[in-house]
Homo-oligomer: A and B are copies of this chain.
Amino acid sequence: MEKPSLPKGTRDFGPAQMLKRQYLLQTIREIFTKYGFLPIETPAMENLSVLTGKYGDEGDQLIYKILNSGDFIQGVEQNHLQEGYKKLIPKISKKALRYDLTVPFARHVVMNRNDITFPFKRYQIQPVWRADRPQKGRYCEFMQCDADVVGTDSLLCEAEIVLMIHEAFAALGITDFVVKINNRKILSGIADAIGKEGSEAELCVAIDKLDKIGKEAVLEELKTKGFTDSQLTRLLPVFDLKGNNAEIFPLLRTILAQSSVGLKGIDELEKVFTLIEKSGLGNASIETDLTLARGLSYYTGAIFEVKILNVQMGSVCGGGRYDNLTGVFGLPNVSGVGISFGIDRIYDVMNELNLFPSQESNSTRLLICAFDENTFMHALPMVTKLRAQGINTELYPDPVKIKKQLSYADDKKIPFALLIGEDEMNQGLYSLKNLISGEQFKVTFDEVVHKLI
């Protein structure tokens, strides 16, 4: 007999996990909505040509391809086999699973450009698939949760992303976090200032590893990328620019005095801070981090990351501004800014910090336990009335031993049980048991409703 299993890197979510995930996603969804973001969804399957070439060579390898239906080897010749699997793929596969939400979003914007009102504020919460080697915290199928505004350069969007992050974490009960912010134009300016104009990409990729491999190794990597000793010497003080904006920005303006793009980056960053401050954000946890780089990516302005401070965990949110979302699909100059919430990591943090509320409100509140067939029938209209009052109610489907019924309630974390034996039925006085405290009361039906509503 076949013993079923799950593909590596995939997961089932049982009810207890699902209730937590629903709470987490619903909380974020409501905050997105409060800020004017509206949902879209795109299909899991995209045309392979839409995805190919968007994620670099390595990314292309990690896209799951779907075999054409029917006789997929029709037209495949013997010699095609010898040319290797990469050349064979487009012959036997036309579709693939989405790899992220950004490329499908770009495709959606291009295909619907005439119907979309810009600025377009959309959020999207859907799974993505990557044929990556699974490891702790890395899955082949996982949820992404993105919000983007496209079609405007306004720095209010950056500011609102920072506000939204604060509101989301406050709502989730996560208090000890910091939003790190930087600007790619500043990193560009730094490359200019140390005499390596145009080397922003190499600089970002290397700096991005600072946390992981340390300063020495980063400098070593930059050396192999052609940065000279004197350039690196000029870079070092930038790493050490720490403190609040009033301390950092004046020094930075001096360092970047000759780089117009660098100065523009500082202006943008200052404006974002001003907009946040004017918005009246209390308890702001924001920090300019000149070593925040976000690696290889298409960002051109502000970049963000969120770190949670009281747990061991990489960044839980990341995002930034980009200049050209849809250029690859023939629609140039669509700029925007987005943020992505790392749902799996935030879930783990909340579990570790015990921040999920009890599941009560989203599952059964009351189990009615009947002692026999008679009381079972007596209970039927009660169930209907309780549900009509909005109380999530179950009647145990068979009048089996009460112990078994209560054990069901226990496993399902149902907080109340109503016991109905012959006496209870005849007197109209039922035993309401609080399964958390163990207390038990004799109550009329109306009192049950009143107590649980």
Contacts and interface: CB of A to CB of B under 8 A. Distances in A.
Interface stretch (A1-9, A251-259, A313-321, A342-350): A1-9
A387 interface: yes
Contact of A12 (B10, B42, B61, B119): B42
A39 interface: yes
Q: Which of A74, A81, A157 has the most CB of B within 10 A?
A: A81
25 contacts: A1-B329, A2-B50, A2-B329, A6-B47, A7-B95, A11-B43, A12-B112, A14-B40, A18-B39, A22-B39, A33-B362, A35-B394, A36-B363, A38-B412, A44-B44, A44-B97, A44-B129, A45-B129, A64-B66, A67-B67, A71-B85, A157-B397, A279-B380, A279-B381, A280-B380
Contacts of A62: 69
A65 to B, nearest CB: 4
Contacts of A280: 380-381, 384-385
A15 B64 contact: no
Interface stretch (A103-111, A196-204, A296-304): A103-111
Nearest to A411: B117
A205 interface: no
A19 B397 CA distance: 36
Given A39-B18, A275-B380, A329-B3, A33 B66 contact: no
Contact of A85 (B45, B72, B381, B394): B72
Interface string A87-100: 01100111101000
A18 B40 contact: yes
Given A14-B112, A38-B363, A117-B408, 13 more contacts: A1-B330, A2-B330, A3-B329, A4-B329, A7-B45, A10-B45, A12-B43, A14-B116, A35-B392, A65-B66, A152-B397, A156-B398, A278-B380
A89 B213 CA distance: 43
A364 interface: yes
Nearest to A359: B38
Interface of A: 1-7, 10-15, 18-19, 21-22, 33-36, 38-47, 49-50, 61-62, 64-67, 69-74, 76, 78, 81, 84-85, 88-89, 92-95, 97, 107-108, 110-112, 115-117, 119, 121-122, 127, 129, 131, 140-141, 149, 152, 154, 156-157, 163, 167, 275, 278-281, 328-330, 362-364, 377, 380-381, 383-385, 387, 390-395, 397-398, 407-408, 411-412
A408 B78 CA distance: 58
Given A66-B97, A107-B4, A13 B41 contact: yes
Nearest to A407: B117
A121 B47 CA distance: 37
A129 B442 CA distance: 52
Contacts of A394: 35-36, 121
A61 B112 CA distance: 33
A154 B72 contact: no
B43 A6 contact: yes
Contact of A152 (B41, B72, B398): B398
Contacts of A65: 66-67
Q: Which of A39, A88, A122, A154 has the most CB of B within 10 A?
A: A39
The 5 closest A-B pairs by CB, nearest first: A154-B397, A15-B38, A10-B43, A36-B394, A117-B411
Given A47-B7, A67-B93, A2 B73 contact: no
B44 A73 contact: no
Contacts of A383: 279
A122 B13 CA distance: 12
A74 B392 CA distance: 55
B85 A81 contact: no
A394 B446 CA distance: 45
A15 B84 CA distance: 43
Contacts of A15: 38-40, 122
Contacts of A364: 33, 36
B119 A397 contact: yes
A141 B45 contact: yes
